[in-house]
């Protein structure tokens, strides 16, 4: 018991120093915190705990994804694909239309074309339920599971794009979660005016490149393979374009706000390898023709191709302001939303209410800490003080890890910390009670302490491990506040085991070597 490896002593001391160093910035003023974060390297102490929405105030927005429109667009795309495939296979048909969750058409010659038409419909998309009626009407409908899977995909893609757009604004630790089948919860701590972010989320930023319809006139009606879209820079003016997408926004790898040769605000962009090749081929084959850039159903630019553009990059010009080009570049970099988002609920938590929660949490933590310390001294005397010293380091470790990993601290998280303060001395109680039992059995001081630590170790590990498993389950299956509670409790369990087993033990060893007591009152 009196011997402990030197490397363990050094490691324990080093971890104690680092724990205090990484926890201290949370006690400094905001000005000092900002100076440390801007001056010191990212791996050095300087980070502070990120407060959640309920602690620092902010905005809570509930969004709804327009999945119905996306499904309708998918059905229109299936109609175009079916029309092309049926024409290639020379299959006669009538009344090719899109329905709610599928398409239908009627075969002219059912006996001749049944098998070929079924094969074409089956290749339009995965998971289609295909039925052919006796009158030759073929219906290809998405199954219920297919519709659910598509909605899930749309919402999951939207969450990732929202995260990229919000992260670029500098918002700290936003909470973005799915709710139900087509809703998304967005919580932004510290954001008092979310209008700027809401405006970014309203834009789907779906950019495509199209060629004009050469057969269309300013007054002609677009055909089934064409569409008439407005020119953003010229209100009232329109241009008829081919529906076929030459290049899509998914092929963009970068977009930045810049200026053109006349020092007007513009947006530069760069394609990936596929987009570069396609842009090169299209520009080479259409020199002297317009090339329309469409963003969210509006033509933002329609320049005339002067020469082949094979470098994979280009520039979008128009009547933009500098702010508009910055916003457009951000949207293009983050990617297009697969569905439009509608704000159906919004509420704000004021900083005053958040600060009240912080103060209440501080008081609860201090009261809980003080009561535990008093009880430990009352029951175990000097050994209780040893446990209290370890408890101080334990609290420092908790805040150091929360700061280092930038975990978001919420009100339930504070409850988890308070709970772990009580749990942290549990291991010491088990050890001390075991030492008392050994002393009553007539063992010497050194033998009683040594046996107490050895015999209590398995109980300590079992109790903390089972609690940690529960915390991990809460984190895996819980959401929002439940996860915050689980994170704080998990960190507290790990640090409390280290504090009780290593720090308290080291303090007791140092005391035994110096005092060398012949008796022990515990």
Instruction: For residue 33, name the pLDDT band (cuts at 50, 70, 90).
Output: confident
**What mean pLDDT is predicted for residues 56-80?**
86
pLDDT of residue 479: 67
User: Are residues 218 and 323 both part of a single domain?
Assistant: yes
**What mean pLDDT is predicted for residues 39-51?**
78
User: Are residues 114 and 22 both part of a single domain?
Assistant: no
pLDDT of residue 221: 82
Looking at the chain, the whole-number percentage of residues with pLDDT higher than 90 is: 22
Lowest-confidence region among 85-94, 158-167, 425-434: 158-167
* Closest of 179, 169, 145 to residue 333, by C-alpha: 169
Which one is predicted more confidently, 29 or 427?
427
Partners of 140 in the β-ladder: 103, 130
Residues 87-105: tens digit of each pLDDT: 989 999 999 998 888 999 9
CATH number of the domain where residue 366 is located: 1.20.1640.10
User: Are residues 423 and 509 both part of a single domain?
Assistant: yes
Please give the full DSSP string across 49-67, using - where no structure is assigned. PEE-HHHH-EEEEEEEE-H
| pLDDT exceeds 90 at position 378 | yes
Is 229:299 a contact under the CB 8 Å cutoff? yes
Residues 267-324: tens digit of each pLDDT: 888 888 888 888 888 888 888 888 888 887 888 888 888 788 888 887 877 777 888 8
Tell me, yes or no, whether 169 lies in a domain: no
d(CA 267, CA 499): 56
User: Are residues 297 and 245 both part of a single domain?
Assistant: yes
Instruction: For residue 171, name the pLDDT band (cuts at 50, 70, 90).
Output: very low
First to last CA, the chain: 18
Cα four-point dihedral sign 407, 411, 414, 418: negative
Which one is predicted more confidently, 163 or 241?
241
pLDDT of residue 312: 80
d(CA 121, CA 127): 11
CATH number of the domain where residue 261 is located: 3.30.1360.200
User: Are residues 495 and 426 both part of a single domain?
Assistant: yes
User: Are residues 361 and 312 both part of a single domain?
Assistant: no
Tell me, yes or no, whether 173 lies in a domain: no
**What mean pLDDT is predicted for residues 81-87?**
88
Tell me, yes or no, whether 19 lies in a domain: yes
User: Are residues 286 and 383 both part of a single domain?
Assistant: no
Tell me, yes or no, whether 171 lies in a domain: no
pLDDT of residue 27: 85
Instruction: For residue 170, name the pLDDT band (cuts at 50, 70, 90).
Output: very low
Lowest-confidence region among 43-52, 344-353, 447-456: 344-353
Q: What is the pLDDT of the chain when averaged over all its residues?
A: 85
User: Are residues 367 and 461 both part of a single domain?
Assistant: yes
**What mean pLDDT is predicted for residues 248-264?**
82
| pLDDT exceeds 70 at position 119 | yes
pLDDT of residue 173: 61
pLDDT of residue 469: 93
User: Are residues 365 and 239 both part of a single domain?
Assistant: no
Tell me, yes or no, whether 172 lies in a domain: no
d(CA 272, CA 306): 22
pLDDT of residue 354: 64
**What mean pLDDT is predicted for residues 421-432?**
88
d(CA 328, CA 256): 9
Which one is predicted more confidently, 259 or 205?
259
Lowest-confidence region among 193-197, 223-227, 418-422, 427-431: 193-197
Tell me, yes or no, whether 163 lies in a domain: no
Distances (CA, A) of 328 to 71, 169, 251, 299: 26, 13, 16, 14
Of 285, 307, 336, which residue sits at a domain end?
336
Q: Find the domain containing 452 and state its range.
A: 6-55+350-515
pLDDT of residue 466: 92
Lowest-confidence region among 128-132, 237-241, 269-273: 269-273
| pLDDT exceeds 60 at position 169 | no
User: Are residues 389 and 478 both part of a single domain?
Assistant: yes
Lowest-confidence region among 25-39, 97-111, 173-187, 268-282: 25-39
Tell me, yes or no, whether 148 lies in a domain: no
Burial string for 39-65 (b: 16+ CB within 10 Å, else e) reads eeeeeebbbbbbbbbbbbbbbbbbbbb
User: Are residues 397 and 500 both part of a single domain?
Assistant: yes
Of 141, 170, 188, which residue sits at a domain end?
141
Query: What's the gap between Cα 307 and its chain centre?
Result: 43
| pLDDT exceeds 70 at position 1 | no
pLDDT of residue 2: 56
Domain count within the chain:
3
Tell me, yes or no, whether 343 lies in a domain: no
User: Are residues 360 and 504 both part of a single domain?
Assistant: yes
pLDDT of residue 353: 62
pLDDT of residue 15: 93
């Amino acid at each position: 018991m009196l011997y402990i490896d030197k490397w363990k002593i050094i490691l324990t001391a080093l971890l104690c120093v680092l724990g205090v160093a990484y926890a201290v910035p949370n006690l400094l003023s905001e000005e000092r915190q900002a100076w440390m974060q801007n001056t010191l390297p990212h791996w050095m102490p300087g980070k502070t705990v990120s407060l959640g929405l309920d602690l620092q105030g902010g905005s809570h927005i509930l969004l709804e994804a327009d999945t119905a429109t996306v499904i309708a667009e998918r059905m229109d795309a299936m109609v175009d694909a079916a029309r092309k495939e049926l024409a290639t296979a020379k299959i006669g048909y009538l009344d090719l239309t899109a329905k709610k969750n599928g398409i239908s058409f009627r075969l002219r010659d059912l006996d001749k074309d049944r098998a070929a038409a079924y094969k074409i419909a089956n290749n339009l998309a995965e998971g289609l339920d295909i039925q052919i009626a006796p009158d030759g009407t073929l219906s290809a409908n998405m199954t219920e599971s297919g519709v659910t899977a598509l909605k899930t995909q749309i919402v999951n893609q939207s969450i990732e794009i929202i995260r990229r757009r919000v992260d670029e604004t500098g918002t700290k630790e936003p909470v973005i979660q799915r709710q139900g089948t087509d809703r998304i919860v967005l919580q932004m701590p510290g954001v008092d005016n979310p209008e700027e972010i809401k405006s970014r989320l309203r834009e789907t930023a779906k950019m495509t490149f199209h060629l004009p319809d050469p057969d269309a006139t300013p007054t002609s009606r677009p055909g089934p393979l064409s569409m008439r879209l407005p020119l953003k820079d010229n209100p009232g003016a329109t241009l008829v374009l081919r529906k076929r997408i030459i290049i899509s926004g998914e092929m963009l790898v970068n977009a930045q706000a810049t200026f053109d040769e006349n020092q007007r605000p513009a947006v530069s962009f760069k394609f990936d390898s596929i987009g570069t090749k396609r842009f090169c081929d299209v520009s080479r084959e259409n020199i002297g023709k317009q090339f329309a850039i469409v963003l969210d159903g509006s033509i933002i630019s329609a320049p005339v191709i002067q020469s082949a553009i094979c470098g994979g990059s280009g520039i979008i010009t128009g009547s933009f302001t500098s702010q508009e080009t910055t916003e457009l570049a951000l949207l293009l970099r983050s990617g297009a939303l697969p569905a439009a988002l509608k704000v159906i609920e919004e509420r704000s938590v004021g900083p005053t209410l958040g600060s009240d929660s912080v103060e209440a949490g501080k008081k609860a933590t201090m009261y809980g800490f003080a009561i535990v310390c008093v009880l430990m001294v009352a029951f175990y005397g000097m050994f209780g003080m040893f446990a209290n010293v370890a408890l101080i380091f334990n609290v420092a470790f908790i805040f150091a890890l929360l700061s280092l990993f930038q975990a978001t601290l919420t009100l339930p998280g504070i409850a988890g910390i308070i709970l772990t303060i009580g749990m942290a001395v549990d291991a010491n109680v088990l050890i001390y009670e075991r030492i008392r039992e050994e002393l009553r059995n007539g063992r010497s001081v050194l033998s009683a302490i040594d046996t107490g630590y050895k015999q209590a170790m398995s109980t300590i590990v079992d109790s903390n491990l089972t609690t940690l498993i529960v915390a991990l389950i809460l984190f895996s299956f819980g959401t929002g506040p439940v996860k915050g509670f689980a994170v704080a409790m998990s960190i507290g369990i790990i640090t409390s085991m280290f504090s009780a087993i290593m720090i308290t033990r080291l303090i007791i060893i140092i005391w035994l070597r110096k005092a060398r007591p012949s008796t022990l009152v515990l």
